[in-house]
Amino acid sequence: MTERIYNFSAGPAVLPVEVLEQAQRDLLSLPGVGMSVMEISHRSKTFDEILGKADTGVRQLLGVPDNYHVLFLQGGASLQFSMVAMNLLPAGGSADYIVTGSWGKKAVKEAKRCGAVNIAANMADSGFTRIPDPEEINLDSNAAYVHITTNETIEGVEWKEEPEVGKVPLVADASSDILSHPIPVEKYGLIYAGAQKNMGPSGVTMIIIRDDLLPRIPDGLHTMLDYRTHVENHSLYNTPNTWGIYIISLVCDWLKTKGGLKGMHRENLAKAKLLYDAIDATDFYRGHAEPGCRSIMNVTFRLPSEELEKKFATEATAKSLDGLKGHRSVGGIRASIYNAFPHDGVEALVSFMKGFEQKNG
Ligand SMILES: Cc1ncc(COP(=O)(O)O)c(C=O)c1O
């Protein structure tokens, strides 16, 4: 099979065809280098340029201010659940966590190993269908930081704007919506994101950290787990994921051709609207998240029964609409429509949904 199908996977996820084609062209030999990017030293001038391009690309797209460092590390967003707390939650201190879904819960689990955690809000009782209203959030003005998950990939619930946290640094897991829309980076102390949804392949985690947080890091952390190591060595303390960073540099180029994050956001909103409109047009499909909190990236919905959901996912796969089965922890259907997911793929899904309802409704 050489035809590409519509890949609704939550991650690793669809990459832009133009990026894959460029990588394919340069796979055997990077122009002027005579080797694949996977074969060159991470200490070479060529890789230095690739890393610089990825760094500049992200900085330009997100408008990262100069007092922030951009790091490309490994260990996934899951390792950041630990590193954030190890680095920023001091002995005797406490951190605020606003839990809006399954990933936020996992972040709390790791932070608790390091120190006190104040659950400033927990939306579990609502079935993780929404973001808390400001009056539902109990922040501690002495907290070391406030942690949010900007987009909960499993439940399909996203923050539309940052919570007001005063002077306390805001820390965000932005794994599943990074680079999908503009964000005011200056409102954050630290942002982390696994690359494998909107930025590139799995195996790279991007961290954007404000410079004034570095002096808060306690001495004595393991070298690899200390953000200062990676800041001082520009992500080259050890061997980074050279291939992944190269793809990120190409994705940044591609995003610029889309009109940057503003242009990308417009396209993402149009795709999401098409799908949510189809869900809302009938009682057969039921959206999981409350309308005001719906994710633009991960569209989650239910059918009248689990049997029908299973049938839906199986029949969709047979029609080259793959990866629609909801996460094993919540069930239902999840259509992940990241940056690189094409508009005509959403149209194909909407048409499949109409046909499925006619036959099974
Ligand atoms: C919001 C969010 N946080 C964290 C993770 C975990 O990422 P990783 O598998 O890179 O550790 C994911 C993965 O899907 C995610 O969507």
Element (H, E) at 88: helix 76-88
Provide the β-strand partners of residue 193. Answer: 206
Regarding the beta carbon of 78 and ligand 1, being less than 6 Å apart is answered: yes
**What is the C-alpha separation between 177 and 122, in angstroms, rounded?**
21
Find out whether the beta carbon of 101 lies less than 6 Å from any atom of ligand 1: no
Active-site residue flag, 103? yes
Quick one: pLDDT at residue 330?
A: 83
CB 168 within 8 A of CB 210: no
pTM > 0.95: yes
Per-residue confidence (pLDDT) for residue 329, from 0 to 100: 78
The C-alpha atoms of residue 283 and residue 316 are separated, in whole angstroms, by 20
The pLDDT value given to residue 174:
98
Which residue's CA is the closest to the ligand 1 atom numbered 2? 175
Ligand 1 atom, smallest distance to 154 CA: 16
Identity of the residue numbered 54:
A
Q: How far is CA 244 from CA 37, 51, 196, 201, 204, in A?
A: 10, 10, 9, 6, 6
CA distance 232 to 211: 11
Using an 8 Å Cβ cutoff, are 271 and 277 in contact?
Answer: no
Ranges of residues in the chain whose predicted pLDDT is under 50: none
pLDDT at 67: 98
What strand order describes the sheet that includes 286-287?
A: 286-287, 298-302, 333-336
Distance CA 57, CA 250 (A): 9
The beta strand positions in the chain, using DSSP E, are 6-7, 68-73, 94-99, 116-122, 146-149, 151-152, 157-158, 170-173, 190-194, 205-210, 286-287, 298-302, 321-322, 333-336
> Which residue's CA lies nearest to atom 10 of ligand 1?
76
Residue 1: its pLDDT value, please?
60
